[in-house]
Amino acid sequence: MPIVQEPPEKMTFQLSLRRRGISDQAVLRAMEAIPRDVFVEPADRAYAWRDSALGIACGQTISQPFVVAYMTEQLQLQKHHRVLEIGTGSGYQAAILSRLCGHVLSIERYRTLADSARARLEKLGCNNVEVLLGDGFDIPAGAGNFDRIMVTAAMELVPEALTQRLEPGGILIAPVGPHQGTQTLIRLTRTEAGLERKALVDVRFVPALPGIAREL
């Protein structure tokens, strides 16, 4: 039987993240444990371990590993946390989160993406992730509040309806800025005095759109 040679990028995956400043050991372990190649399109599996975004179904993308690790690290997750993710996409970010917190509710507007992500997550045993077909701008009232919120698509403004879902001391991470062009990753922390805002790094994400997609 021939020996399957792993891509060089996979062998240097963790080193690349460390070199770019990711230092949280729990985040690094989660990134190592979740196979990114499961979450990309079959034609892109040879490129799965490169530090670059890749296209997926419905015109969406799977973020580059550094951005996934960086956003996750900025959430300062603890095992008891309940996390809301807006934009399931392939399910890769939700899988990383599942290793670091108690429960993840991930909302996706495209049925195709929601169904395929749900299947991948179940296959990997990410049993603390719930994938919901829905509108990320209109969270179901019964969903309650969250310790952490991560938005994985560009918002021109973070709606108050979303920040109101943060528990005291809660953290929200979102790319904020124009849909076409560069956004800034923003971290909002709910304090006793209100929302504390910090700009982090410039990023590029696909737009966050309201409603459930009529097709796909």
Give the span between the Cα atoms of 67 and 125, in whole angstroms.
24
DSSP letter for 63, please.
Answer: P
pLDDT for 1 beyond 90: no
Domain residues for 56? 8-203
pLDDT bracket for residue 90 (50, 70, 90): very high
Give a yes or no: residue 2 inside a domain: no
Domain count across the chain: 1
Specify the range with the lowest mean pLDDT, choosing from 7-16, 58-67, 126-135, 170-179.
7-16
Give a yes or no: residue 81 inside a domain: yes
Exposure on the CB side of residue 146, measured as CA atoms within 13 A: 31
Give a yes or no: residue 209 inside a domain: no
Q: What per-residue confidence (pLDDT) applies to 54?
A: 95
Which CATH number goes with the domain that contains 102? Answer: 3.40.50.150
Of these residues, 16, 23, 63, 116, which one is catalytic?
A: 63
- Average pLDDT on 177-202 reads 95
The pTM of the full predicted model, rounded to 2 decimals, is 0.93
pLDDT bracket for residue 14 (50, 70, 90): confident
Give a yes or no: residue 31 inside a domain: yes
Give a yes or no: residue 211 inside a domain: no
- Per DSSP, the three-state class of 157 is coil
pLDDT for 155 beyond 70: yes
pLDDT for 3 beyond 60: no
Give a yes or no: residue 151 inside a domain: yes
Give a yes or no: residue 196 inside a domain: yes
Residue 23 appears among annotated catalytic residues:
no
Give a yes or no: residue 100 inside a domain: yes
pLDDT for 154 beyond 90: yes
Backbone angles phi, psi at 9, to 5 degrees: -60, -35
Strands (E) across the chain are located at 54-55, 61-62, 82-86, 103-108, 129-133, 146-151, 166-176, 183-191, 194-203
Q: What per-residue confidence (pLDDT) applies to 11?
A: 74
